[in-house]
């Protein structure tokens, strides 16, 4: 067998993606590692010629995941993944779709990037059905049962996955990294206002409802507050709010606004926070789960005392909230990024982890 870790990559890998797709795009695509192989990004129509097989011999998964199953199966076979001593999966769905292809002698490494259990994330989606939720609940247990190693960004993120962790499973920690944008420019925003930026999915786990309601209450008392929304979701049209929709230059807006607001109810380790650190953006955030690592007293991070509207309103109305702080990037945040969260450091740590695991399983 090839004495390397094969990092299985079925994703589109856009730099602005979240989750495993964004992690791989920002840290691994275009780079060579000594102990890790990553398959290149494959085209969306990679499984087009399998449409006949899909009709005659449907995959043993819900209809929603038929294409994903065939995509994973084809990548596994096309890149001869069975030849590698260890395989690194970045979600339970992909691992489940490859279970029938993994040799008993292969070591399986699993990292799930969800800020909640996968079946809970699916349950909150627009495409959720009872059948799909039940299937995901089943496969998340099967995935962790097959895994030999579970990878997490830090010990606090483990709280999310406690129901899936078991005695045989070895826990490893690998801090996520993000690319550095040395010069991203700025948008000329109204300097008489304090400009806030929310990035990402507009759902409950990200605390979007808390951010929007806290802004409404604070804006009534402090009209100079402005909230910019970046990302896909239902359009918001109301006083003080500017909905930017999707953007492929999020760093531009991070540097242009006074504060990035990350108010997660539960947290894994958001790429958007690491990106904000890298450009010295000031951050208002909750220190939940994996984000407890940021409760470090940086001059560029304001941590809410509670995950609720009242705590955020208090911050937005406080004297601590500086206007035009975008003109003075946080050197503390940049220093924290350079010390812990660069893409170079991620690759170095991933290679070191892979070397150690390969040594242990020989």
Q: What is the DSSP letter of 246?
A: -
Q: Are residues 163 and 300 in the same domain?
A: no
In a domain, 182, yes or no: no
Instruction: Indicate if 335 and 354 belong to the same structural domain.
Output: no
Who's near 276: CB < 8 A, 6+ residues apart?
A: 254, 260, 262, 283, 333
Judge if 154 and 199 occupy the same domain. Answer: no
Residue closest to 186 by CA, chosen among 247, 274, 244, 250? 250
205 plus 142 within the same structural domain: no
Residues 131 and 116 in one domain: yes
- Residue 298: CATH number of its domain: 3.40.50.2000
Asked whether 149 and 170 are in contact (CB, 8 A), the reply is yes
> For helices 331-340 and 271-278, what crossing angle results, to 10°?
120
Q: Does the predicted model carry a pTM greater than 0.75? A: yes
Confidence label for 51 from pLDDT (cuts 50, 70 and 90):
low
pLDDT band at 234 (very low <50, low <70, confident <90, very high): confident
Question: Quick check: is 186 in a domain?
Answer: no
pLDDT in tens, 251-306: 999 999 999 999 999 999 999 999 999 999 999 999 999 999 999 778 899 999 99
Are 104 and 253 found together in one domain? no
User: Higher-confidence residue: 326 or 147?
Assistant: 147
In a domain, 65, yes or no: yes
- Confidence band, pLDDT 50/70/90 cuts, at residue 52: low
User: To the nearest whole number, what is the mean pLDDT of the chain?
Assistant: 93
Residue 189 lies in a domain: no
Q: What is the largest CA-CA distance in the chain?
A: 66
pLDDT at 87 (0 to 100): 98
Share of the chain above pLDDT 90, in %: 80
228 and 84, same structural domain?
Answer: no
- Asked whether the predicted pLDDT for residue 230 surpasses 70, the reply is yes
**Residue-range definition of the domain harbouring residue 72:** 2-177+342-361
Residues 106 and 139 in one domain: yes
CA distance to 97, 194, 218, per residue, from 222 (Å): 52, 10, 6
Q: How far is CA 72 from the centre of its chain?
A: 20
Number of domains in the chain: 2
In this structure, are 68 and 161 located in the same domain? yes
pLDDT at 337 over 80: yes
- Asked whether residue 48 carries a pLDDT value surpassing 60, the answer given is no
Q: Same structural domain for residues 111 and 246?
A: no
Structure tokens at 254: 């991070």
Residue 253 and residue 166 share a domain = no
CB atoms within 10 A of CB 41: 17
Q: Please indicate, yes or no, whether residues 20 and 143 belong to a single structural domain of this protein.
A: yes
């Amino acid at each position: 067998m090839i004495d390397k870790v094969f990092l299985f990559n079925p994703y589109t890998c856009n730099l602005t993606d979240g989750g495993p797709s964004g992690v791989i795009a920002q840290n691994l695509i275009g780079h060579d590692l000594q102990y890790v192989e990553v398959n290149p990004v494959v085209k969306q129509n990679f499984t087009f010629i399998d449409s006949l097989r899909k009709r005659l011999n449907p995959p043993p998964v819900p209809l929603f995941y038929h294409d994903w199953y065939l995509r994973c199966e084809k990548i596994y076979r096309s890149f001869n993944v069975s030849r590698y001593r260890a395989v690194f999966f970045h979600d339970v769905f992909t691992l489940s779709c490859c279970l029938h292809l993994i040799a008993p002698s292969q070591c399986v490494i699993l990292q799930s990037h969800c800020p909640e259990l996968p079946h809970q994330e699916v349950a909150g989606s627009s495409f959720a059905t009872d059948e799909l939720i039940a299937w995901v609940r089943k496969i998340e247990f099967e995935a962790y049962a097959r895994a030999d190693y579970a990878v997490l960004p830090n010990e606090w993120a483990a709280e999310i996955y406690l129901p899936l962790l078991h005695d045989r499973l070895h826990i490893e920690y690998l801090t996520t990294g993000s690319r550095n944008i040395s010069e991203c420019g700025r948008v000329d925003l109204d300097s008489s206002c304090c400009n806030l930026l929310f990035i990402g999915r507009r759902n409950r786990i990200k605390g979007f409802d808390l951010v929007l309601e806290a802004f409404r209450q604070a804006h009534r008392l402090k009209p100079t507050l402005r909230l910019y929304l970046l990302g896909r979701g239902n359009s918001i049209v109301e006083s003080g709010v500017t909905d930017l929709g999707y953007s492929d230059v999020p760093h531009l807006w991070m540097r242009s606004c006074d504060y990035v607001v990350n108010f997660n109810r539960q947290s894994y380790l958001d790429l958007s926070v690491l990106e904000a650190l890298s450009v010295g953006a000031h951050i208002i955030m909750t220190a939940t789960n994996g984000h407890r690592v940021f409760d470090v007293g940086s001059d560029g991070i304001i941590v809410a005392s509670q995950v609720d509207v009242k705590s955020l309103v208090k911050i937005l109305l406080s004297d601590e909230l500086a206007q035009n702080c975008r003109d003075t990037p946080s050197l503390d945040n940049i220093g924290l990024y350079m010390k812990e969260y660069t893409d170079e450091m991620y690759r170095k740590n991933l290679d070191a982890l892979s070397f150690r695991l390969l040594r242990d399983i020989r």
